[in-house]
Amino acid sequence: MTSSLKVVTWNSGGLHSQILRELETWAQDTAQEIVLIQETKWDFDGNWSSPSFHFVHSAGQTREDRVGGVLTMVSTKVAQRSEIQFHPVFPGRLLHVRLNLPQPIDIINAYQYAANDNKLTPERRLDVGKIISDGRTPEPPSTLAHLREVIKTGIAHHKWHDITQLEVLSNCAREMWALFRAMRSHPYTARGIVQAWRQWKEFSKAHREHKARSKARSKQRKQDLLAQARTAAARGDMHKVWQAVKTLAPKTRPKPLQLYRSGHIMTPESELAWIAEAFGERYGDREPPTQAHIRRHAPFQVSAEDVRSELEHLPVRKAVPPEAAPSALWKACAAEVAEFIAEQVNEQWAQSELKVPQSWADATVALIPKPTGKNESPLDWRPIGLQHPIGKSIMRIVIDQARHQIYQLVHEWPQCAYVPNRSTFTALKRVYQHCDEIRSKCAQQRTTLHQKKEGVERTTNYGGLQISMDLSAAFDLVPWTAIKEAMELACIEPFVQELLLQWLGQVRYKFRHKGMEKEVWPSWGLRQGCIGSRYFGQLLLPYSVVP
């Protein structure tokens, strides 16, 4: 991306769908990258994408702001949908959009109150100077700067010799909190006790006031939600009613994993053994692999820039295995560790024996309840695989080498899942089109006198057929030989195939339950939660159809 962006802003005075289409065409023809529109006068919030732009809209909520509405358009050449975050700071008036690129970009779309004689206008007008000062990125906190310096110094002085030793990042975080606790545990003096007592009285008073304000605010929020639900019900908007009910409904605690056999409670050891047995049969449990794989093709190499980019885009809220450092720490120290990780990976994969770090191939399985609520066996729970953040980043780099060939093959077939420019609506349109064609052909069975005179012949079509297949657990049973042949069908580079198959062959599932652990080494199936599994799944339809 260049160091500058083409940005245009426009007060539409009311934006109709036809004008929006014309504006999108003009922006595409003139290579606009960011378009800011004010006063759309739309009454809904939304975000969607077209082949050319991503759209984020914020509508006004109060009577004074419903005449507003701000819309931000971001070119798909600038950022992907997953890289866009947004926050309606002032609904209908001030919309903050952030592009999570290697160099983040903050976009402020504001619709100012017009100056008039209304006494409330000065209070309502946006403070542009404050907005600009708030948008400036502050210096990183001292604790984060210290952490980055520790990592940089450790790598420079060869304190860590491989990637696994970088897990001390999590220990650094614990040390920071230990320093914080030590700061609070200073000895009390007579003067300190008096000062602490005074501060406690002030705190108690402020706490009571805060508690009263919070209670009033909570009550007002419930009343506002009920008013929104009534308004939505009057308009017939049941989706808004459902959203309000879901927000007001009491939250339920996660269902704990507890298994019963023949109606009896099981011990934790028996539960874990049953879990390992059930999923071992599902995935084809085998002995751990002992035979080394000798590399047959050129080694796969990664660049420090790609590693840094992937680490900076790690989702910080995703859970990681217990032994791995949190994604937030890898993301915060991406610039410091990217070159070190790239050197370690390239050195290891350049050896004659091709091997993936086992912690990257591992998946710590967490079992969560399915919507059906059944609990007759461990297979009634949904397995979610937690994976190492570095392994996920490197896997994404490897998959990027094969993504183009996969898309070229899949685009020839009516597959919609995980395919660019296709969605659930694409599949529904195909079904509706088939139904319409069948109805038209069936209608030709009956011919009127006029049609008979014109020579229209009756058709022998008496209906159509649509087949719905249950693909539950289908990816768990895919043979690895089929994945290999599907990659060959897509003409993926041999050195990429070799690495992906080796990665797949090293997969190990770890089932942890109440402080105990068992392992399952699968013989088939796609790894749970793996970045590459959805791309392998895309290849299965063309592979199963092509003779």
pLDDT at 349: 95
State residue 168's pLDDT score: 47
Give the pairing type, strands 53-58 and 70-75.
antiparallel
Angle between the 494-505 and 480-489 helix axes, to the nearest 10 degrees? Answer: 160
Task: Say what the pLDDT of residue 123 is.
Answer: 67
Look at residue 170 in the predicted model and tell me its pLDDT: 45
Using alpha carbons, select from 62, 20, 25 the residue that is nearest to residue 37: 20
Residues 510, 503: Cα–Cα separation, whole Å:
16
Query: What pLDDT is attached to residue 252?
Result: 63
Q: What is the DSSP string of 76-109?
A: TTT--GGGEEEEEEETTTEEEEEE-SSS-EEEEE
Residue in 40, 49, 32 with CA at minimum distance from that of residue 12: 40
For helices 334-349 and 142-156, give the axis angle rounded to 10 degrees: 30
Closest by CA to 339, choosing from 150, 496, 155, is: 155
User: Which ranges of the chain have pLDDT less than 70?
Assistant: 1-3, 115-124, 128-144, 158-211, 213-214, 251-254, 263, 461, 547
DSSP assignment of 318-372 = S---TTSPPHHHHHHTHHHHHHHHHHHHHHHHTSSB----HHHHEEEEEEEE-TT
| H/E segment holding residue 429 | helix 424-443
Q: Specify the DSSP element, H or E, that contains 55.
A: strand 53-58
Distance CA 19, CA 452 (A): 48
Is the pTM higher than 0.85? The answer reads: no
Instruction: Give the burial class of 458: count Cβ atoms within 10 A of its Cβ; 0-12 exposed, 13-18 middle, 19 or more buried.
Output: exposed
